[in-house]
């Protein structure tokens, strides 16, 4: 059986960790220009900016590298009225994209979650062979793993071995 999936690291992207209390999310959404998702694992998108809700008061924002100062500026402007914490974590992680018909099975070699329950357009923080990662299902057969930089060789190594095993039919 032919194997048709790919594993690739993605170019640098802008990433922020945003923390704020529930009562401030309306002001945050207004400043960002789109509504922050309200339940954990949901994503929202506006142009090339996305927001993923990771915890009760925590979101991850992604954007192109050059759009970062714009976001920082617009949120800093409302800080006195809507207290929050916005941290640039762009270089902390490297993104890996796994796409193809075997993508879900490839990830299941090291992720204990029931990936069939992770719907398209949703994302979660979880664990990948003891490494904490953020896993987003971009499309039915396309996932993105955000992995802390120093763990990337380990995660890529595991995925490479898994790909090799799939290719020779193990």
Partner 1 sequence: MLLIHCPYCKEKLPELEFEYAGQAHIARPENPAEQTDAEWRDYLFIRSNVRGDHAEQWRHSHGCGRYFNALRNTVSDKFIATYEIGQACPTSHAEGEENNEQLES
Output the smallest distance, CB 113 to partner 1, in A.
6
- Residue 138, Cβ neighbours under 10 Å: how many? 18
Output the smallest distance, CB 112 to partner 1, in A.
4
Which one-letter DSSP state was computed for residue 36? P
Is residue 42 close enough to count as binding partner 1 by CB under 8 A? no
Nearer CB in complex with partner 1: 101/112? 112
Is residue 127 close enough to count as binding partner 1 by CB under 8 A? yes
> Which of 68, 92, 97, 125 contacts partner 1 by CB under 8 A?
125
Is residue 120 close enough to count as binding partner 1 by CB under 8 A? no
Distance CA 75, CA 25 (A): 12
Say which residues have a Cβ less than 8 Å from residue 46's Cβ, sequence separation at least 6.
32, 33, 34
Output the smallest distance, CB 134 to partner 1, in A.
10
What are the residues facing 58 on neighbouring strands?
A: 19, 55
Is residue 41 close enough to count as binding partner 1 by CB under 8 A? yes
Output the smallest distance, CB 135 to partner 1, in A.
11
**E-assigned strand segments in the chain:** 6-9, 14-20, 43-46, 49-55, 58-63, 84-88, 93-99, 122-128, 131-139, 142-148
Nearer CB in complex with partner 1: 17/74? 17
Stretch that binds partner 1, among 20-28, 48-56, 88-96, 159-167 (CB under 8 A): 48-56
Is residue 113 close enough to count as binding partner 1 by CB under 8 A? yes
Output the smallest distance, CB 90 to partner 1, in A.
20
Residues listed for the chain: 170
Render the burial of 47-69: b for 16+ CB within 10 Å, e for the rest: eebbbbbbeeeebbbbbeeebbe
Backbone angles phi, psi at 28, to 5 degrees: -60, -50
Residues found near partner 1 in the complex (CB under 8 A) = 40-41, 54-56, 58, 112-113, 117, 124-127, 132
């Amino acid at each position: 059986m032919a194997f048709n999936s790919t594993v690739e690291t993605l170019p640098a992207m802008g990433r922020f960790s945003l923390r704020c209390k529930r009562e401030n999310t309306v002001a945050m959404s207004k400043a960002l220009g789109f509504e922050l998702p309200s339940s954990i694992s949901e994503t929202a998108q506006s142009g090339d900016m996305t927001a993923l809700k990771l915890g009760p008061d925590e979101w991850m924002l992604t954007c192109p590298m050059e759009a970062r100062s714009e976001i920082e500026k617009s949120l800093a402007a409302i800080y006195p009225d809507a207290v929050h914490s916005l941290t640039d974590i762009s270089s902390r992680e490297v993104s890996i994209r796994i796409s193809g018909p075997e993508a879900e099975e490839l990830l299941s070699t090291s992720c204990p979650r029931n990936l069939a329950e992770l719907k398209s357009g949703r994302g979660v923080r979880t664990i990948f062979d003891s490494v904490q990662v953020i896993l987003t299902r971009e499309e039915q057969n396309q996932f993105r793993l955000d992995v802390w930089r120093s763990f990337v060789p380990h995660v890529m190594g595991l995925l490479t071995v898994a790909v090799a095993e799939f290719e020779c039919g193990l």
